[in-house]
Structure 1
């Protein structure tokens, strides 16, 4: 029997281990939902196929639970997915999704609210970050990061502080990888460089670090500094991160909104597009990236 040309396909999603297990799990989750809908099968019927609940099917289709190979195989049978190439790719995604996530080495140090961002950012094609108070986490020096983390968690033991610092330090490595590194566009308020974090020496070395990163990663890292004159456009009082992925047809944009003791995530197109517009406005009124080295040199002089 000829293949259904309207049937959803997962062949366009590549096997890229460097993107992390969460990206593969999320792509597979969305694909299983599309296959079920194309087959005209309700969640309750799908649940009966693998002797589980509708809630479990919902978690599977949103990537919030691990996949069992035999369950996926039985669902594919029920959905009429018979193409050997499709099934082989799905089996590969199941195996990749079962691998540890990037933050799991630092399980005790990775705040639960931050884990979805840590898990998905390696798969991003482009990351836009706005930070009104501090240097973004990817770009912090070890001593700057330690000072910030200690200020937020003054009662945490030294071992956990060190683990949180180590986790923060490794995040920039995705910009250095040889295969499909993301591009990071970071916008910071000019006040970030006037707000003393630690000693003047800590600030001086942090700014030197930013200058060194701009030289090291000219294609992967772009920094913009927003002056106070941006006015209401820059009146976003909390950090915002917008992720866009290499395969938007399988992985929709993700927005991370940092709160003092938690975070919110937005993935509906209407919401992610709204934050994309806010960030685009900020980029438009901030000083151009070409001026950033000179502005950093001026900030550096104030901390000598």
Structure 2
């Protein structure tokens, strides 16, 4: 896989196809697990596309035999397993990235579009190095200077999906005004950060709007940070993989593919977007706030 791709998407595709194959023959997780001499949880993880150990060709072929896949379908599953086990660029940062977020980086790298709401901080994809370093220095006080640098490098490398020439990802962000008023790293850092967002928002694939304090709570209650990840359509017009809702939390992260969850978060985003400043007014506010910080 290239640096623009990721092992998460083929793993999820493989899991979905294997789950569909199991359902087609009317077998339960327990029944297949017994046949394969696996635990139910191991097979469940494979079907969910969760990261884990190497997916052996022998195991995939045996699952395909149990499900009655023909040779072509079996070969397709084996190829997906090979792609899923390929090392991708973010794996070199495994020592400075928590496991739950490792999965997010893989999904993000595979996505064709992202929809984000951030009520508190500038999202990682829009952060400048000094802003990212100030946050990480506080959140990871025991880290060495080298570890902090590598965390920042990871953040910056992720941002290539926005600015690359070939198939840049579409990003749509609603950022609460508190994120541009809360000081991270000092006035100089904030000024540079806000100018950076204003400049990024001029890209045709990037939309950033500010939800002002005056808008109150457009959904009727507080909504935490989340990202909707979409993976585009295949040649058959069907989704390459189900869209994912990623909800980031202080004590843990949540991933969901459930259609009802996706609808709820889409509805919330639409409400906050309607209450936000338009793109031009938001860009003006970023530049104005940067001047207030001394830019």
TM-score (ref. length: structure 1): 0.87
How far does residue 220 in structure 1 lie from its aligned partner after superposition?
1.8
Is the Cα–Cα contact under 8 Å of residues 7 and 87 in structure 2 kept in the other structure? yes
Structure 1 unaligned segments of length 5 or more: list them: 1-14
The list of structure 1 runs, each at least 4 consecutive aligned residues, that deviate by more than 6 angstroms after superposition, is none
Q: What pairs with 1:1-304 in structure 2 (closer than 5 Å)?
A: 18-64=4-50, 65=52, 66-84=54-72, 86-215=73-202, 218-233=203-218, 235-236=221-222, 238-247=224-233, 249-304=239-294
Bigger mean CA offset, 96-105 vs 233-242: 233-242
RMSD across aligned positions (CA): 2.1
How far does residue 87 in structure 1 lie from its aligned partner after superposition?
3.0
Cα distance in 1 between the residues matched to 2:268 and 2:158: 25
Is the Cα–Cα contact under 8 Å of residues 19 and 120 in structure 1 kept in the other structure? no
Q: Give deviations 1:229-274, integer Å, cap 9, x for gaps.
A: 2112265353111112214745222122222233222222111221
Q: Give deviations 1:117-166, integer Å, cap 9, x for gaps.
A: 11101222221111112111111110111011112222322222112111
How far does residue 63 in structure 1 lie from its aligned partner after superposition?
1.6
Residues paired across the two proteins, number:
287
Cα distance in 2 between the residues matched to 1:43 and 1:261: 30
Cα distance in 1 between the residues matched to 2:26 and 2:178: 55
Bigger mean CA offset, 240-249 vs 271-280: 240-249
Is the Cα–Cα contact under 8 Å of residues 190 and 228 in structure 1 kept in the other structure? yes
TM-score (ref. length: structure 2): 0.89
Cα distance in 2 between the residues matched to 1:255 and 1:291: 28
Structure 2 unaligned segments of length 5 or more: list them: none
Bigger mean CA offset, 149-158 vs 294-303: 149-158
